[in-house]
A and B are shown apart, each in its own frame.
Chain A
Amino acid sequence: MTQPALCRSCLTPFPGGAPARCPACRSPRVIRHAELFDLTIAHMDCDAFYASVEKRDNPELADKPVIIGGGKRGVVSTACYIARIKGVRSAMPMFQALKLCPEAVIVRPRMAAYAEASRAIRAMMEDLTPAIEPLSMDEAFMDLTGTTRLHGAPPAVMLAKLVARMQSELGLSGSIGLSHNKFLAKVASDLDKPKGFSVIGKAETDSFLHDKPLGMIWGVGPAFQSSLEAAGLRTFADLKRWDRKDLAARFGSSGDRLWHLARGEDNRRVERNSRAKSISNETTFNTDTADTELLDGHIWRLSEKVADSCKAKGTAGRTVTLKLKRADFKLISRRTSLRDATQIADKIYRTARDLFEGEIASGPFRLIGVGLSDLCPEDQADLSGDLLDPDATRRAKAERATDKIRDRFGKDAILKGRALR
Chain B
Amino acid sequence: MKISIERNALLRAVSQAQSVVERRNTIPILSNVLIEAEGDSASFRATDLDIEVVDKATAMVERAGATTVAAVTLHEIVRKLPDGAQVKLTDDGASGRLTVEAGRSNFSLATLPKEDFPVMATSEYTANFSAPAPMLRRLFDKSKFAISTEETRYYLNGVFMHVAEESGGQVLRCVATDGHRLARIDADLPDGAATMPGVIVPRKTVGELRKLLDDDDMQVAVSVSESKVRFATPEITLTSKVIDGTFPDYTRVIPAGNTRKLEVDAAEFAKAVDRVATVSSERSRAVKLVLDEDRLVLSVNAPDSGNAEEELVVAYGDEPLEIGFNAKYLLEIAGQVDKENAVFMFNSSGDPTLMREGNDTSAVYVVMPMRV
Contact = CB atoms under 8 A, between A and B. Distances in A.
Task: State yes or no: do A and B come from one complex.
Answer: yes
Interface of A: 336-341, 351, 354-355, 380, 382-389, 393
Nearest to A339: B180
A387 B371 contact: no
Q: Which of B150, B182, B284, B366 has the most CB of A within 10 A?
A: B284
Contact of A339 (B150, B282, B366): B150
Interface of B: 150-153, 156, 177-182, 248, 250, 253, 282-284, 286, 324, 326, 350, 352, 366, 368-371
B286 A355 contact: no
A387 B152 contact: no
B152 A384 contact: no
B253 A388 contact: yes
Counting from the closest, the 5 A-B pairs by CB-CB distance are A384-B370, A354-B152, A383-B370, A386-B179, A383-B371
A387 B180 contact: yes
A398 to B, nearest CB: 15
Given A336-B152, A339-B284, A383-B371, 18 more contacts: A336-B151, A338-B150, A339-B180, A340-B284, A351-B152, A380-B282, A380-B283, A383-B284, A383-B286, A384-B180, A384-B370, A385-B350, A386-B179, A386-B368, A387-B180, A387-B352, A388-B179, A393-B350
Given A340-B284, A380-B284, A393-B350, A387 B181 contact: yes
Contacts of A340: 180, 284
Given A354-B152, A393-B350, A387 B284 contact: no
Contact of B182 (A341, A351, A380, A387): A387
A387 B253 contact: yes
B181 to A, nearest CB: 7
11 contacts: A336-B152, A339-B150, A339-B284, A380-B284, A383-B324, A383-B371, A384-B180, A384-B368, A386-B368, A387-B177, A387-B368
Nearest to B372: A383
Contacts of B250: 388
Nearest to B367: A387
A382 B180 CA distance: 12
A337 B368 CA distance: 19
A386 B150 contact: no
A336 B181 contact: no
A302 B371 CA distance: 27
Nearest to B249: A388
A384 B282 contact: no
Nearest to A351: B152
Given A336-B150, A336-B151, A384 B253 contact: no
Contacts of B324: 383
A336 B370 CA distance: 22
B253 to A, nearest CB: 5
B247 to A, nearest CB: 10
Contacts of A382: 371
A344 to B, nearest CB: 13
A353 to B, nearest CB: 9
Contact of B368 (A341, A380, A385): A385
B341 to A, nearest CB: 24
Nearest to B371: A383
A386 B152 contact: no
